[in-house]
Chains A and B, each alone.
Chain A
Amino acid sequence: MLSENELIEGCRKGNRASQKALYDQYCRKMLVVCLRYSKTTAEGEDILQEGFVKVFNAIKDFRQESKLETWITRIMVNTALNIQRRKLYLYPMVDVEELNLPDTEVSVSGIHFSQLLEMIQTLPHGCQIVFNLFAIEGFSHKEIAEQLGISEGTSKSQFARAKSLMQAKLVKESTYYERYGEAKI
Chain B
Amino acid sequence: MNDMERRKFEDSFQDAFRDAESSPSENVWTNIELDLEKADGDKMKRRLVFFKTLAAASIVFALCVAGIGYYVFQRSDMGNLAEGTTNARVISPQDQVKDETNTSAERNDNSAYAIEKEDAKASNSENQINKSVTPGADDSHVGKDELAAADSPSKKETRLSSSTPNKGNNRETVGGTIANGTTALIAADKNLNSTTPVTSQNDNTTTLNPTTSASSSRELPALYQPAEPELRLPVSTADPGMLLLAKLADEEKKYASKEKSQTKNKSENLWTSVGFAAGGVNANNRSVSSAPSNAFYLGNTASTASTQSKASGQSYSVGVSVGTKLSNRWVLQGGINYLTQSYDYTANSVVVVNNNFAAPKAASINLLSLDATANTTVAPTFPYNVNNNVRFVNVPLQAGYLLVNRKFGFQLNAGVSTDVFLQNTITPDGGSLAKTTQGSGDDSPYRSLNFSGLMGTEFSYRLGDRYRLSLNPGLRYPFSSVYKSDTGVNSTPLTFDVGLRFRYIFH
Contacts and interface: CB of A to CB of B under 8 A. Distances in A.
Interface of A: 14, 16, 19-20, 23, 27-29, 31-32, 35-36, 42, 45-46, 48-49, 52-53, 56-57, 101, 105-109, 111, 113-114, 116-117, 134-136, 138, 163, 167
Nearest to B37: A16
3 smallest CB-CB distances across A and B, nearest first, come from A28-B21, A113-B20, A135-B10
Given A45-B28, A105-B5, A135 B14 contact: yes
B16 A20 contact: no
Nearest to A112: B16
Contact of B21 (A29, A106, A135): A29
A99 to B, nearest CB: 13
A36 B13 CA distance: 12
A49 B31 contact: yes
B22 A31 contact: yes
Contacts of A109: 12
Interface in B24-75: 24-25, 28-29, 31-33, 35-36, 39-40
Interface of B: 1, 5, 9-10, 12-14, 16-17, 19-25, 28-29, 31-33, 35-36, 39-40, 237-239
A113 B32 CA distance: 27
A32 B32 contact: no
B9 A106 contact: yes
B129 to A, nearest CB: 84
Contacts of A163: 9
A172 to B, nearest CB: 16
A20 B28 CA distance: 11
B17 A116 contact: yes
Contacts of B17: 32, 36, 113, 116, 136
A134 B21 contact: no
B33 A42 contact: no
Contact of A56 (B23, B36, B237): B36
A53 B9 contact: no
B16 A113 contact: yes
Contact of A53 (B12, B21, B36): B36
A29 B20 contact: yes
A27 B28 contact: yes
14 contacts: A23-B29, A28-B21, A28-B23, A29-B19, A31-B22, A32-B21, A45-B24, A48-B28, A53-B35, A101-B1, A107-B12, A135-B9, A135-B13, A135-B14
A37 B17 CA distance: 13
Given A105-B1, A108-B13, 10 more contacts: A23-B29, A23-B32, A31-B22, A45-B28, A46-B237, A52-B32, A105-B5, A108-B9, A108-B16, A117-B20
A31 B22 CA distance: 6
Contacts of B32: 19, 23, 49, 52-53, 56
Contacts of A117: 20
Nearest to B239: A42
Contacts of A28: 21-24
A132 to B, nearest CB: 9
B105 to A, nearest CB: 80
Contacts of B10: 134-136
Q: Is the interface of A mostly helix, strand, loop or mixed?
A: helix
Contacts of A106: 9
Contact of A20 (B5, B29, B238, B239): B29
B238 A46 contact: yes
A27 B35 CA distance: 16
Contact of B33 (A16, A101, A138): A16
A110 to B, nearest CB: 10
Contacts of A52: 28, 32
Given A28-B22, A29-B21, A105-B5, A116 B237 contact: no
Nearest to A138: B14
Nearest to A110: B16
Residue among B5, B10, B32 with the most chain A CB within 10 A?
B32
Contacts of A56: 32, 36
B12 A49 contact: no
Nearest to A20: B29
A160 B50 CA distance: 55
Contacts of B25: 45
Contacts of B16: 108, 111, 113, 116
Contacts of A35: 22
B24 A31 contact: yes
A110 B31 CA distance: 36
A7 B21 CA distance: 21
B130 to A, nearest CB: 88
A49 B28 contact: yes
A27 B36 CA distance: 16
A48 B12 contact: no
A35 B40 CA distance: 29
Contacts of A32: 17, 20-22
A56 B38 CA distance: 13
